[in-house]
Amino acid sequence: MRLGFIGTGTITAHMVRGLKASALAEWPIVLSPRNEAVAAELALLPGVTVAASNQAVIDQCDLVILAVRPQVAEAVFGALVFPADRPVISLIAGLHICKIAEWTGAKDIARAIPLPFVERHEGVTPVFPPQRHAMQIFAALGTALPVTDLVAYDAYGAASALMASYFGLLETAADWMVAQGHPRLDAVAYLRGLFGSLGDVLRAGPASFEQLREDHSTKGGLNEMIFQRFVQGGGGAAMEAALTAAFKRVQG
């Protein structure tokens, strides 16, 4: 299949690099010209070309992947002609299939939430509905998670937006250590190792999050104390409220 991307930014770059190192490496890829610098870099990969325009992407591919920001989607797609039978996969957060259908005229539309880890074939990508081509593509980039229910898909969308908070937590901890007199490099190296190891623990087994928290808390110890203070200080409630706000936003 010849894949076309409209919107050549961060997530497209991760997907294209991942695809070119995957079982689907032979599939040609056509990119829209914008962003010029990202497109030029990706075009160094075998079988990746940059089209002259967004319309040329559609005309040259068998399946179109939409990867522009939601704010420009209507203006971008409204100016293009999509053959009704051309399958479309939208990566655009919060943009419903009915809107994409209205703006593109396409009939075979799926949505997906790839994250940067698809480049290393470690992405777990929700696909709604589980359209055949989308499942094949995201299975080649890690795990394709079939989703048949819009509410569940939107909950994945909200949870997928926890990445920045994870790193923000580390930022806060590093700043705090620096304020106690640690050189920043030492603080960052320590936290990088600690959280890297926790990531390994998470991957290693099926233990529940509650079990993992207990396994990493001595009774009456510091881990237990910090978690209790975090919850009492409103940390858990703030996270729930933020997830609910993200959920409402992706619901549109």
Ligand X SMILES: NC(=O)c1ccc[n+]([C@@H]2O[C@H](COP(=O)([O-])OP(=O)(O)OC[C@H]3O[C@@H](n4cnc5c(N)ncnc54)[C@H](OP(=O)(O)O)[C@@H]3O)[C@@H](O)[C@H]2O)c1
Residues that bind ligand X (CB under 6 A): 6-12, 32, 34-35, 38, 54, 67-70, 72, 76, 91-93, 113-116
Dihedral sign, CA of 180, 166, 71, 35? Answer: positive
Beta carbon of residue 226, minimum distance to ligand X (angstroms, whole number): 29
| Residue nearest ligand X by beta-carbon distance | 9
Given the complex with ligand X, which of 101 and 212 has the nearer CB atom? 101
Beta carbon of residue 247, minimum distance to ligand X (angstroms, whole number): 15
Given the complex with ligand X, which of 28 and 94 has the nearer CB atom? 94
Beta carbon of residue 223, minimum distance to ligand X (angstroms, whole number): 31
Given the complex with ligand X, which of 30 and 113 has the nearer CB atom? 113
Given the complex with ligand X, which of 34 and 182 has the nearer CB atom? 34
Given the complex with ligand X, which of 54 and 187 has the nearer CB atom? 54
Burial class (CB in 10 A: 0-12, 13-18, 19+), 174: buried
Beta carbon of residue 41, minimum distance to ligand X (angstroms, whole number): 12
Beta carbon of residue 48, minimum distance to ligand X (angstroms, whole number): 15
